């Protein structure tokens, strides 16, 4: 019993067979007095196919952002129409709504829109008529009524935002994994599925490389205080509930998970004069180019000459954009050299429990040391500790840390 928003991604609705399977599953699970809002993405490869079509006309179709949104929003419109037909053909009334019809108001930043407001009047009306309401994810409309897509992870964000606006009992994100794990199961065979995780921990996990949920949708859940249930499209087992605080006695582990990220590069600007404003001159130039810097270490190279080294990491994807910018600033600062290391990766532990447990960091460093893994840079936040290691050591680093905090059951 309740009002539940359920989101299915593109791979879950990739074919008409899969669409029919989703409809059957939802009806099998649905209790008589449940109210259901479905949020769906475009079918499988539809978005890629549409982009290919546009590329036949122009090398860089994304320069016409408004028209890309006009083009790509058709993808979800097809899947909502088909899923709604599936529900109706199975005997349950249903109705489809585009993002605009569902009241999703966005700004006008085409292809990367942000939700400004949701007016779910139409959704409520259709629910009250007894319909399952099938809403197009990933899209809304701006003040002019032009279609706008929400960018990466947009369908999850749509679902959580709609759940928030409707004061839904929960928002279920159906995906190809069956929950949030204590580490990536492809790297750590003993990774455990968590029953619960807090918004803050999930955000930190996502920031540090865990790929299941995009941070935007978790932030939206935190904002509206909507529990987000991450669960499998393919099984009926419960997955992981993301919520404000734990409801269960799941305090066995002081950390919630081990995250890792191999999309990392390290840049060292060596031998710059240690004057006020040095850090600012480097990092503001990068910020202007929309390059985010992650771990930062400043260390004294030569006290007498008052010369310092500035070391930081950034996404490997940003390296080709960042390198000439850093070179130019280093040149102006009369730096000795700019060194780049590409074979680095980051391993992190996350958990709100570490606040009251001072020994956590040393256990992490000890596990790495016992594994013969060298730590290059360390950074910490309130609920996480990250270490930069060699890329070749990354899997082993995840394993030894996971063993330390989640000991194998005998």
The upper half-sphere exposure of residue 237, i.e. CA atoms within 13 Å in the direction of its Cβ, equals 12
Q: How far is the CB of 6 from a second copy (least distance, A)?
A: 19
Q: How far is the CB of 78 from a second copy (least distance, A)?
A: 5
Tokens found for residue 325 = 């910018």
Q: How far is the CB of 59 from a second copy (least distance, A)?
A: 9
* Separation CA 298–CA 81 (nearest Å): 56
Q: Decide: 13 and 83 in contact? Cβ < 8 Å.
A: yes
* Separation CA 63–CA 91 (nearest Å): 44
Smaller CB distance to a second copy: residue 139 or 157? 139
Q: How far is the CB of 64 from a second copy (least distance, A)?
A: 5
Residue 129: Cβ within 10 Å count? 10
CA angle 288, 290, 293 (to 5 degrees): 100
Q: Decide: 156 and 367 in contact? Cβ < 8 Å.
A: no
**Known binding site: residues?**
7-10, 47, 76, 175-176, 181, 186
**Known binding site for ATP: residues?**
7-10, 175-176, 181, 186
Smaller CB distance to a second copy: residue 141 or 208? 141
Tokens found for residue 78 = 């097809």
Smaller CB distance to a second copy: residue 74 or 262? 74
Smaller CB distance to a second copy: residue 69 or 178? 69
Q: How far is the CB of 122 from a second copy (least distance, A)?
A: 8
Smaller CB distance to a second copy: residue 95 or 183? 95
Q: Is the dihedral of CA 7, 12, 16, 18 positive or negative?
A: negative
Q: How far is the CB of 63 from a second copy (least distance, A)?
A: 8
Q: How far is the CB of 74 from a second copy (least distance, A)?
A: 4
Smaller CB distance to a second copy: residue 11 or 77? 77
Listed residue (154, 240, 244) closest to 200, CA to CA: 244
Burial of 87 from C-beta contacts in 10 A (0-12 / 13-18 / 19+): buried
Q: How far is the CB of 114 from a second copy (least distance, A)?
A: 21
Strand 293-302 relative to strand 378-381: parallel, antiparallel, unpaired? unpaired
Contact residues for a second copy (CB under 8 A)? Answer: 16-17, 19-20, 50, 53-54, 56-58, 61, 64, 66-68, 70-71, 73-74, 77-78, 80-82, 84-86, 88-89, 95-96, 98, 100-101, 122, 144-146
Listed residue (165, 161, 231, 229) closest to 197, CA to CA: 229
**Known binding site for substrate: residues?**
47, 76
Q: How far is the CB of 256 from a second copy (least distance, A)?
A: 41
Residue 77: Cβ within 10 Å count? 17
Residue 55 φ/ψ region, left for φ over 0, alpha for ψ in the -120 to 50 degree band, beta for the rest: alpha
Measured CA distances, 359 to 114, 255, 356 (Å): 41, 12, 9
User: Position of tokens 């290391």?
Assistant: 341
Smaller CB distance to a second copy: residue 15 or 334? 15
Smaller CB distance to a second copy: residue 13 or 397? 13
Tokens found for residue 15 = 């074919």
Smaller CB distance to a second copy: residue 21 or 378? 21
First to last CA, the chain: 40
* Separation CA 162–CA 139 (nearest Å): 12
């Amino acid at each position: 019993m309740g009002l539940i928003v359920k989101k299915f991604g593109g791979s879950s609705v990739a074919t008409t067979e899969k669409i029919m399977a989703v409809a059957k599953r939802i009806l099998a699970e649905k209790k008589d007095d449940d109210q259901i809002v479905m949020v769906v993405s475009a079918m499988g490869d539809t978005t890629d196919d549409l982009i290919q079509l546009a590329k036949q006309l122009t090398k860089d179709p994304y320069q016409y952002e408004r028209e890309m949104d006009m083009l790509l929003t058709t993808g979800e419109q097809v899947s909502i129409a088909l899923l709604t037909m599936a529900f109706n053909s199975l005997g349950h009334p249903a109705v489809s709504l585009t993002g605009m019809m569902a009241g999703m108001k966005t700004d006008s930043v085409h292809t990367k829109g942000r939700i400004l407001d949701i007016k779910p009047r139409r959704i409520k009306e259709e629910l009250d008529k007894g319909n399952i309401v099938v809403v197009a994810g990933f899209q809304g409309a701006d003040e002019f009524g032009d279609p706008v897509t929400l960018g990466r992870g947009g369908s999850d964000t749509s679902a959580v935002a709609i759940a928030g606006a409707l004061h839904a009992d929960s928002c279920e994100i159906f995906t190809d994994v069956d929950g949030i794990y204590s580490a990536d199961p492809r790297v750590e065979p003993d990774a455990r599925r968590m029953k619960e995780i807090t918004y803050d921990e999930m955000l930190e996990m996502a920031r540090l490389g865990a790929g299941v949920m995009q941070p935007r949708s978790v932030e939206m859940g935190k904002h509206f205080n909507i529990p987000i249930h991450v669960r499998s499209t393919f099984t009926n087992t419960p997955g992981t509930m993301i919520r404000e605080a734990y409801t269960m006695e799941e305090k066995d582990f002081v950390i919630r998970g081990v995250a890792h990220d191999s999309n990392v590069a390290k840049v060292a600007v060596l031998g710059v004069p240690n004057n006020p404003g040095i850090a600012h001159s480097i990092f503001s130039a990068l910020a202007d180019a929309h390059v985010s810097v992650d771990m930062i270490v400043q260390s004294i190279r030569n006290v007498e000459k008052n010369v310092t080294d500035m070391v930081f990491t950034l996404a490997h994807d940003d390296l080709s954009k960042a390198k000439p910018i850093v070179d130019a600033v280093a040149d102006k600062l009369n730096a000795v050299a700019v060194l780049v290391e590409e074979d680095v990766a980051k391993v992190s532990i996350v958990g709100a429990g570490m606040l009251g447990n001072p020994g956590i960091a040393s256990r992490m460093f000890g596990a790495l040391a016992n594994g013969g893994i060298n730590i290059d840079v360390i950074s910490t936040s309130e609920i996480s500790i990250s270490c930069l290691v060699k890329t070749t050591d990354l899997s082993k680093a995840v394993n030894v840390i996971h063993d330390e905090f989640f000991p194998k059951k005998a």
